[in-house]
């Protein structure tokens, strides 16, 4: 998988895709456990490529196949499944399929309960963060807050405040409080989130800036600055024709309309429409996993049983 990762880092997505599909074809008919592990990791990587590029249906197919291959090789209660299930739940959240996300999170948490003390803390925190997103999407704000705060506690201990994980949790808390009609709390967490990652133009930072802009509309100059930064970040991080870029631009267009700048809003709305039409025609292109990472939890479980 290291070759594919290097291709992705160099933005050679089509080359990485061909490499992974060729690797997949060599092991897909095998019943050998090691080959099934390779198939699971390859499908997970293929899913993450399509997820990142906005091809959600294909991403779901590969993520689901990845889980199936891992189950076939290692059983349906293996702790390594937690990371794969987290990826699938993240996809469902991004595509706003909250019922599917809820079921996937529930299964992940059930495995964690059945293998207590085995699953890595970061995977547990990721599950809690996803659960917060599910509950927030379903309007269960107190449950969402509880899950996010538990994730925050783990991430602070494991990776510290200046980390993408903490920035994401703080962003999610900010969005939650905004929906909960608690603007002061929302502002605190969204500002903390963007400060945590600085000027890094990552996908997460683009969305964090968008959320900060959305709650700054009472001060139009500040909001526009954040929207412009978010739009630039989204185009660089996701690509100019990605659904998430369209979402950022759509929110900027709404801001312009609300401030009586109809011509500018219409121009951006046309751009958004073009992106979404292209995606709808099927143009192709959240954690990438490795078999040894997934098996690490299993080794920990064996050691625990031997003590």
- The pLDDT profile of the chain, 307 residues, written as one tens digit per residue, is 556 556 554 555 566 666 666 666 666 666 667 778 888 888 888 888 888 878 899 999 999 999 999 998 999 999 999 999 999 999 999 899 999 999 999 999 999 999 988 999 999 999 999 999 999 999 999 999 999 999 999 999 999 988 888 988 998 998 899 889 898 898 888 888 877 766 666 666 677 777 777 776 677 888 888 888 888 888 887 888 888 889 889 989 999 999 999 999 999 999 999 988 887 665 443 444 454 555 555 555 445 444 5
| Domains by residue range for the chain, with CATH | 1-74 (1.25.40), 77-194 (1.25.40.10), 199-285 (1.25.40.10)
Print the SS3 string covering the chain: CHHHHHHHHCCCHHHHHHHHHHHHHHHCCCCCHHHHHHHHHHHHHHHHHHHHCCCHHHHHHHHHHHHHHHHHHHCCCCCCHHHHHHHHHHHHHHCCCHHHHHHHHHHHHHHHHHCCCCCCHHHHHHHHHHHHHHHHHCCCHHHHHHHHHHHHHHHHHHCCCCCHHHHHHHHHHHHHHHHCCCHHHHHHHHHHHHHHHCCCCCHHHHHHHHHHHHCCCCCHHHHHHHHHHHHHHHHHHCCCCCHHHHHHHHHHHHHHHHCCCHHHHHHHHHHHHHHHHHHHCCCCCCCCCCHHHHHHHHHHHHHHHHC
Q: How many CB atoms lie within 10 A of CB 162?
A: 11
Per the confidence metrics, is the pTM higher than 0.85? no
């Amino acid at each position: 998988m290291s070759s594919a990762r290097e291709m992705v880092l160099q933005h050679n997505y089509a080359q990485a895709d061909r490499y992974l599909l060729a690797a997949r074809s060599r092991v897909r008919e095998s019943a050998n456990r090691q080959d099934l592990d390779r198939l699971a990791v390859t499908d997970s990587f293929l899913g993450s490529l399509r997820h990142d590029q906005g091809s959600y249906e294909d991403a779901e197919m590969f993520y689901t196949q990845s889980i199936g291959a891992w189950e076939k090789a290692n059983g349906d209660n293996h702790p390594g499944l937690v990371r794969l299930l987290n990826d699938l739940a993240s996809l469902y959240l991004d595509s706003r399929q909250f019922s599917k996300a809820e079921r996937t999170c529930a299964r992940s948490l059930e495995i964690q309960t059945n293998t207590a003390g085995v699953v890595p803390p970061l995977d547990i925190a990721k599950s809690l963060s996803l659960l917060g997103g599910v509950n927030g999407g379903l309007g269960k704000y107190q449950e969402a807050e509880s899950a996010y705060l538990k994730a925050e506690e783990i991430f602070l201990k494991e990776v510290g405040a200046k980390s993408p994980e903490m920035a994401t949790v703080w962003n999610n808390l900010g969005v939650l409080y905004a929906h909960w009609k608690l603007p002061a709390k929302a502002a605190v967490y969204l500002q903390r989130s963007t400060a945590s990652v600085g000027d890094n133009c990552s996908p997460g930072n683009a969305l964090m800036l968008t959320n900060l802009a959305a709650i700054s509309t009472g001060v139009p100059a500040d909001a526009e600055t954040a929207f412009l930064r978010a739009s630039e970040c989204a185009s660089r991080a996701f690509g100019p024709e990605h659904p998430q870029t369209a979402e950022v631009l759509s929110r900027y267009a709404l801001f312009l309309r609300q401030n009586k700048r109809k011509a500018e809003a219409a121009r951006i709305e046309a751009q958004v429409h073009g992106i979404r039409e292209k995606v709808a025609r099927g143009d192709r292109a959240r954690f990438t996993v490795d078999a040894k990472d997934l098996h690490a939890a299993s080794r920990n479980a064996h050691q625990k049983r031997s003590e």
